[in-house]
């Protein structure tokens, strides 16, 4: 359930009201990262199809850790694919919320991979993935309070300085709240982005899953996003258990998430959009066709540059 002490920086619905007043606004991201179009997550089961058919995918996102500290087949295939397609790196082990010291050996490998594949940008999640140097291989939530916020901001700043580029950080799917939280997730993300000067990856499916699990309004959540910091969007399917949703990435995107994507598009005028399908992965063309559905929402929404 939502925390009793949630505070908002701005009046509820201010951005939606402004959008209505001015028409659909297109807000550029502050780094002028390009809209790469519609991309897919690069998955091993699709390697052969991609190498044989050179499909008309605009770009690929890789899971960074799958290509670090290896010189095996995946890395050689990535070298070939990165010669033909723009590559974005998305990691799961930066552990921004952990109390462990920052792992500079990990960052060194990450930086080397980014240079090797000429990554357009790279990022990770608002979460922690381990403690005491043990990796739990999952994305664990952080409490939304001042102490945690200061900790995460400090780590983001340090990591950005080391990598010499902005991080693009994804909003999580969450399943619980902390008694120690004193602000909403949206306020936390807003302040994290503004005060660390990082970019955001807005996962629209995660917004839906989190809001369903905590009985929140996803449109209100989207009103609080600083769109000048949104560099990339994720779309995915999830599992609806009736009482709650799980972010499983194993199915088609549901209509409500597509609607929310359309709302985001009105505010951005177009951001690099990535379809995630990571379990029960169907053949390449099914995943590609799902990503191409985004064209409808990108074309039918009129946007105005401001």
Whether 294 contacts 235, CB under 8 Å: yes
* Smallest gap from residue 306 Cβ to Fe ion (A): 28
* Smallest gap from residue 170 Cβ to Fe ion (A): 5
* Smallest gap from residue 209 Cβ to Fe ion (A): 10
Instruction: Pick the piece of the chain touching Fe ion (CB under 5 A) from 5-13, 31-39, 153-161, 229-237.
Output: 229-237
Nearer to Fe ion among residue 43 and residue 234 (C-beta): 234
Distances in Å between the Cα of 235 and the Cα atoms of 170, 250, 285, 287, 299 are 12, 12, 17, 12, 17
Check binding of 234 to Fe ion (CB under 5 A): yes
Q: What long-range pairs does 157-163 form, CB within 8 A, spacing at least 24?
A: 157/196, 157/197, 158/102, 159/94, 159/96, 159/102, 159/107, 160/196, 160/197, 160/198, 162/104, 162/107, 162/111, 163/107, 163/110, 163/111, 163/114, 163/122
Residues in 256-275 at the binding interface with Fe ion, rule: CB under 5 A = none
Nearer to Fe ion among residue 203 and residue 263 (C-beta): 203
* Smallest gap from residue 276 Cβ to Fe ion (A): 5
The DSSP output letter for 102 is P
Cα angle 53-55-61, degrees, rounded to a multiple of 5: 120
Nearer to Fe ion among residue 63 and residue 131 (C-beta): 63
Sequence-separated (6 or more) residues with CB below 8 Å from residue 172? 125, 126, 127, 139, 141, 206, 210
User: Which residue is at the shortest CB distance from Fe ion?
Assistant: 234
* Smallest gap from residue 274 Cβ to Fe ion (A): 8
Please give the Cα distance from 189 to 210 (Å, whole number).
14
Instruction: Pick the piece of the chain touching Fe ion (CB under 5 A) from 25-33, 53-61, 231-239, 277-285.
Output: 231-239
Instruction: Pick the piece of the chain touching Fe ion (CB under 5 A) from 21-29, 128-136, 190-198, 226-234.
Output: 226-234
* Smallest gap from residue 31 Cβ to Fe ion (A): 20
Instruction: Pick the piece of the chain touching Fe ion (CB under 5 A) from 91-99, 171-179, 198-206, 265-273.
Output: 198-206
- Residue 58 sits at φ, ψ, to 5 deg, of -70, -35
Choose, by CB under 5 A, the member of 35, 186, 187, 203 that binds Fe ion. 203
- In the complex, the residues that contact Fe ion under the rule CB under 5 A are 203, 234
């Amino acid at each position: 359930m939502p925390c009793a002490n949630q505070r908002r920086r701005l009046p509820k619905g201010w951005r939606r009201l402004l959008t209505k007043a001015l028409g659909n606004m297109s807000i550029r991201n502050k780094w002028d990262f390009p809209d790469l179009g519609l991309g897919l997550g690069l998955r091993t089961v699709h390697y052969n199809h991609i190498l044989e058919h050179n499909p008309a995918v605009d770009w690929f996102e890789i899971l960074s850790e799958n290509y670090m500290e290896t010189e095996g087949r995946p890395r050689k295939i990535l070298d070939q694919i990165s010669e033909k397609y723009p590559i974005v790196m998305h990691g799961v082990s930066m552990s921004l919320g952990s109390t462990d010291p920052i792992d500079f050996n990990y960052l060194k490998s990450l930086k080397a991979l980014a240079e090797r594949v000429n990554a357009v940008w790279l990022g990770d999640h608002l979460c922690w993935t381990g403690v005491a140097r043990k990796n739990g291989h999952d994305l664990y939530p952080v409490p939304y309070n001042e102490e945690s916020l200061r900790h995460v901001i400090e780590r983001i700043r340090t990591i950005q300085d080391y990598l010499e580029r902005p991080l693009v950080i994804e909003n999580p799917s969450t399943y619980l709240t902390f008694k120690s939280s004193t602000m909403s997730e949206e306020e936390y993300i807003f302040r994290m982005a503004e005060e660390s000067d990082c970019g955001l990856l807005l996962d629209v499916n995660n917004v839906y899953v989190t809001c369903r699990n905590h009985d929140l309004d996803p449109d209100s959540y989207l009103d609080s996003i600083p769109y000048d910091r949104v560099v990339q969007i994720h779309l995915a399917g999830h599992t609806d258990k009736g009482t709650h949703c799980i972010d499983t990435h194993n199915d088609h995107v549901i209509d409500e998430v597509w609607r929310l994507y359309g709302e985001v598009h009105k505010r951005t005028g177009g951001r690099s959009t990535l379809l995630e399908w990571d379990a029960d992965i169907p053949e390449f063309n099914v995943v590609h066709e799902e990503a191409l559905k985004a064209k409808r929402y990108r074309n039918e929404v009129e946007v105005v540059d401001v």
